[in-house]
Chain A
C-alpha cells in the first residue's frame, strides 16, 4: 500500500520538526525537574498537607464557575499545572476503557483526550472505580495510574512519553476490591505502591523511560494508602506495619516507623511533621528526614481519621472521623482545639484554604467551615446533587470538585 502525498509531507516532515523540537526542549525541561510545580500537582496538593494557595470567603451556587461532563466515571482527584487540569476516568461495561483528559482551567474546555485499553484486571467494589488513583505531575509530564495497574506518562500537550502495564509484568498484582493508591513524583522518579494480598510491590519508575529504577517487596496485605512526599527525593510508604521512608535514588530505606498504620487514610506531611493514621493519629518530627529516624511528638486517639486523610495548616491538624466529626488538634502537642459535626458520610479528603476548610460528603454536599484556634462553624453549603468521593483540588484558578460524571470549578476569592 502506497502512502498518499499528503501523508509523505506529514509523516516525513512533521517527524523531523518534532525531533528538532524535542532536542531543544529537553534541557529546558530538565532544569525545572526537581522542583514541585505550582498548582495542585498530586493528591494532597503542593504542600503534601491538603492546603491550597487560594482563599474562599463564602460558598453558594454563585461560586460555580462551570460544570463539564466527563467521558467516564472515577474517583481520582484532578491535578492542576500550567493553567491546565488533568483527570482520569474509566468507561465501558467492564471499566476497561481508561481515559486521560486535559481541560483548560479557565473555561473547562477539553484540550485533549487520550484513551487506553486496560491490560490488567478491572474488577473492583461497586463503590470504587478503575480510575481511583490520582495522577501527579512534575510540571513537565503527567503520570496517570489506574486500578488495572496501567501507568501512562504524557507531556502536557498529550504526547505519549511511555506506558507500563504493571499487572502484565507481575501477574498477581491486583486487588479484587480495587486499587486506589495515588502517585508521587520527585527527583526524576515516579513512585507507585501496588500493594495487595498477593504480589505486593512499591516501584520507582524512571520519569524519562518508565523503566524500573527499583522495585521493593512490600507486605502482602491490601493497602489503599498513597505514598507521601517527605522531602525532595524522599517518599514515605505507608502500610499496616507503619511507614518506610524510601530514598528514590536507589529504593533504599532511609528510616522506618514501625508502630503500625492504617491501610485506608494516608499520612500527610506538614512542614517538619508527618501525621500518620496509626491507632488514632501519630505525629512524627521529621526535621532531618534523610539522616535520622523521626521522633514521635505525640499520639492521640481523639484525632482518629475515618476514610479521609488528615490535613494540616499552620499549627492545626484536622481529621474527619468515621462518625463525621471534624476535629482540630494542635500540631505541637495533639491537644484537641475544637470539634464540629458535619453532614456525612465522607470519603473525600478535605482541603484547607487559609482559615477555611472545605469538606464534601459522599452525597455531594460541600460544607465550608470557618475556623479559628478555639472554634469553628459551617458558614456555607453547596449541594452538587452528585456522588462525590474524590478529594478536591485547589489553585489560584479555582477549586475543582469531581463528581460521578462531572467536574465543577468553584471560584476562589480574587484580590
Chain B
C-alpha cells in the first residue's frame, strides 16, 4: 500500500506542478493579451476571449492579477479590474493575507492597491479600517483621501478638548492632503484656530509671469495662428499686436488659488477685451531632472509649451474651469525650465464669458506641489496690484 501511495505521489505531484505551471503561464499570457489592448479598439477581439478566462480564475490568483496592473495602460487596466470584480463577486473567500501583503507593497500600482484594500474591506471591514490608519501619505489618492478624512474627523473631536491637539492634527492632514475640497476644509478649520496658510505655496501655483499681448483672435482664428512668442521667447523684443506694438511685462497674482486674471493685465473697456490672444511665460528651476505634471485650470482656449515643446491645447471657450482641470505629464530638466501659456479670449459678450484667466501649477503624480527653486515669496495684494494694467479711459 505504501509503495502504491508513493508511486501515486511520484506520478501525480509532478503532474500537478506541471498543471500549476501551465495555469500560471496561461494566466500570464491572457493578462499580457489584455495589456496589449490599445487605441481605437486595437486588440479587443483577442482580449474578449482572454477576459472570459481571466474572469473565471480562482480568487487565489487575485494578487497575481492585481500585479498585472503595475504596467497596464489605462484602457488595459479597466479590462483587468473588471476581471477582478467578476472573480471577487463569485468567490466564497478571498486570500486576505496575500491581498494585505500586496497592499503593503507601495511599489505596486496605486489603483491596484486601492482595489486590494476594497477587496479586504468587502470581507473584513475592521481590518481594512485598521490598515487605513497608516496611509495618510499613501501613493494611492483614494487611500490617502480616506486616511486624511479620518484625521480631519479626529481633529474635529480634538477641538473639544483644546485647540493645540486639533491644530497639530490639522497641519498633519494639510501636509498629506491632495484633494482640493479637503485642503479647503482643513485651511478653513486652521483659520478658525488662528493659523494662516499660504495656499499658493501649498498648491504650488505659479503666480509670477511675464505677459505679452493682446494679439488678434478675431473669429477665434488666433488659436491656430502662430504668433512670435510660439517661435521663441525673447523678453526684450517688441512685436506688433492687435492694437499696436506689444512688449513683455511682469504680472503677479495674489489670489490664494493662483488665478492669473488677464483682464487685470490687459484691462479693456466695459467687460474687457474680446477676440484677443495673450501669452504668459515663466522660468521654473528644478533641483534635478524628474517626472512631474503641469496642471492647468482654464475656461478659455489655450496651449501650453514646456521648453518649447507643445504639451497640449484645447479650443473650448467658457464651459467651466477648476483646479487641475487638465494634467500634462512632463520630465523637468535639471535647472531652467520654460513654461509658455497661450490664452485666447473669444467674442462672446454674455456675463459668463468675461473671464480670461488661468491657474497653473507643477506637481508630482499625487498632486503634491513641486516648487521652483527660485520661487519668490507669495506676493501680497498691493505688490500684485502694482503689476496690473490701467483701464483705458472710456
A: residues with CB less than 8 A from B are 1-12, 14-15, 18-19, 22, 92-93, 112-117, 119, 121, 123, 125, 150, 152, 158-165, 168-169, 171-172, 175-177, 196-198, 205-206, 208-212, 220, 222
Query: Do residues B78 and A117 form an inter-chain contact, with CB atoms below 8 A?
Result: yes
Smallest beta-carbon distance A190→chain B, Å: 12
Chain B residues contacting A18 (CB-CB under 8 Å) are 52-53, 56
Query: Do residues B19 and A8 form an inter-chain contact, with CB atoms below 8 A?
Result: yes
Known A10-B58, A116-B81, A117-B77; judge A176-B320 contact (CB<8 A): yes
Query: Do residues A11 and B61 form an inter-chain contact, with CB atoms below 8 A?
Result: yes
Smallest beta-carbon distance A276→chain B, Å: 25
Smallest beta-carbon distance B206→chain A, Å: 21
Whose C-beta in chain A lies nearest to the C-beta of B298?
A: A176
Query: Do residues B41 and A212 form an inter-chain contact, with CB atoms below 8 A?
Result: yes
Can you offer 7 A-B residue contacts whose CB atoms are under 8 A? A1-B24, A116-B78, A119-B74, A163-B79, A175-B319, A208-B45, A211-B41
Query: Do residues B60 and A212 form an inter-chain contact, with CB atoms below 8 A?
Result: no
Query: In whole angstroms, what is the CA distance A162 to B51 when docked?
Result: 9
Which listed residue (B48, B58, B89, B316) contacts A176, Cβ 8 A?
B316
Smallest beta-carbon distance B196→chain A, Å: 26
Chain B residues contacting A165 (CB-CB under 8 Å) are 39, 74-75, 78
Chain A residues contacting B86 (CB-CB under 8 Å) are 114, 158-160
Query: In whole angstroms, what is the CA distance A115 to B47 when docked?
Result: 18
Whose C-beta in chain B lies nearest to the C-beta of A4?
A: B60
Any chain A CB within 8 A of the CB of B49?
yes
Query: In whole angstroms, what is the CA distance A212 to B44 when docked?
Result: 11
Query: In whole angstroms, what is the CA distance A352 to B245 when docked?
Result: 64
Query: In whole angstroms, what is the CA distance A238 to B36 when docked?
Result: 36
Chain A residues contacting B322 (CB-CB under 8 Å) are 123
Query: Do residues A176 and B26 form an inter-chain contact, with CB atoms below 8 A?
Result: no
Query: In whole angstroms, what is the CA distance A279 to B299 when docked?
Result: 29
Smallest beta-carbon distance A19→chain B, Å: 7
Which listed residue (A10, A113, A197) contacts B57, Cβ 8 A?
A10
Which listed residue (B19, B60, B314) contacts A198, Cβ 8 A?
B314
Query: Do residues B57 and A11 form an inter-chain contact, with CB atoms below 8 A?
Result: yes
Query: Do residues A5 and B20 form an inter-chain contact, with CB atoms below 8 A?
Result: yes
Chain A residues contacting B19 (CB-CB under 8 Å) are 5, 8, 12
Smallest beta-carbon distance A282→chain B, Å: 27
Query: Do residues B45 and A209 form an inter-chain contact, with CB atoms below 8 A?
Result: yes
Which listed residue (B49, B58, B89) contacts A6, Cβ 8 A?
B58
Report the contact-size class of chain B (Cβ under 8 Å from the partner).
35 or more
Whose C-beta in chain B lies nearest to the C-beta of A14?
A: B56
Whose C-beta in chain A lies nearest to the C-beta of B42?
A: A211
Max chain B C-beta neighbours (<10 A), residue from A11, A113, A161, A211: A11
Query: Do residues B52 and A15 form an inter-chain contact, with CB atoms below 8 A?
Result: yes
Query: Do residues B299 and A176 form an inter-chain contact, with CB atoms below 8 A?
Result: yes
Any chain A CB within 8 A of the CB of B131?
no
Query: Do residues A92 and B58 form an inter-chain contact, with CB atoms below 8 A?
Result: no
Query: In whole angstroms, what is the CA distance A18 to B19 when docked?
Result: 19
Query: Do residues B53 and A15 form an inter-chain contact, with CB atoms below 8 A?
Result: yes
Smallest beta-carbon distance B183→chain A, Å: 12
Query: Do residues A2 and B51 form an inter-chain contact, with CB atoms below 8 A?
Result: no
Chain A residues contacting B319 (CB-CB under 8 Å) are 175-177, 197, 222
Chain B residues contacting A22 (CB-CB under 8 Å) are 49, 52
Main secondary structure of the interface of B (DSSP, over half): helix
Nearest first, the 3 A-B pairs at minimum CB distance are: A7-B58, A211-B41, A15-B53
Main secondary structure of the interface of A (DSSP, over half): mixed
Chain B residues contacting A7 (CB-CB under 8 Å) are 20, 23, 57-58, 60-61
Chain B residues contacting A8 (CB-CB under 8 Å) are 16, 19-20, 22-23
CB-CB contacts below 8 Å: B79-120 with A: 79, 81-83, 85-86, 89, 111
Query: In whole angstroms, what is the CA distance A192 to B340 when docked?
Result: 36
Query: Do residues A93 and B181 form an inter-chain contact, with CB atoms below 8 A?
Result: yes
Whose C-beta in chain B lies nearest to the C-beta of A208?
A: B45
Any chain A CB within 8 A of the CB of B383?
no
Query: Do residues B82 and A162 form an inter-chain contact, with CB atoms below 8 A?
Result: no
Smallest beta-carbon distance A1→chain B, Å: 6
Whose C-beta in chain B lies nearest to the C-beta of A163?
A: B78
Chain B residues contacting A93 (CB-CB under 8 Å) are 145, 179, 181
Smallest beta-carbon distance B337→chain A, Å: 23
Could you mark each residue 272-288 of chain B with 1 if its beta carbon is under 8 Å from any beta carbon of chain A, else 0?
00000000000000000
Known A5-B16, A176-B320; judge A11-B40 contact (CB<8 A): no
Chain B residues contacting A6 (CB-CB under 8 Å) are 58, 60
Chain B residues contacting A164 (CB-CB under 8 Å) are 40-41, 75
Known A8-B20, A15-B56; judge A168-B78 contact (CB<8 A): no
Which listed residue (A123, A152, A162) contacts B48, Cβ 8 A?
A162
CB-CB contacts below 8 Å: B307-322 with A: 312, 314-317, 319-322
Could you mark each residue 310-346 of chain B with 1 if its beta carbon is under 8 Å from any beta carbon of chain A, else 0?
0010111101111001100000000000000000000
Query: In whole angstroms, what is the CA distance A209 to B51 when docked?
Result: 13
Query: In whole angstroms, what is the CA distance A335 to B260 when docked?
Result: 54
Query: In whole angstroms, what is the CA distance A27 to B208 when docked?
Result: 65
Any chain A CB within 8 A of the CB of B255?
no
Which listed residue (B42, B64, B89, B317) contacts A112, Cβ 8 A?
B89
Any chain A CB within 8 A of the CB of B349?
no
Query: Do residues A177 and B320 form an inter-chain contact, with CB atoms below 8 A?
Result: yes
Any chain A CB within 8 A of the CB of B17?
yes
Chain B residues contacting A11 (CB-CB under 8 Å) are 23, 26-27, 53, 56-58, 61
Known: A11-B27, A11-B58, A165-B75. 4 other contacts (CB 8 A): A3-B20, A7-B60, A12-B23, A212-B41
Query: Do residues B56 and A10 form an inter-chain contact, with CB atoms below 8 A?
Result: yes
Query: Do residues A198 and B58 form an inter-chain contact, with CB atoms below 8 A?
Result: no
Chain B residues contacting A163 (CB-CB under 8 Å) are 37, 44, 75, 78-79, 82
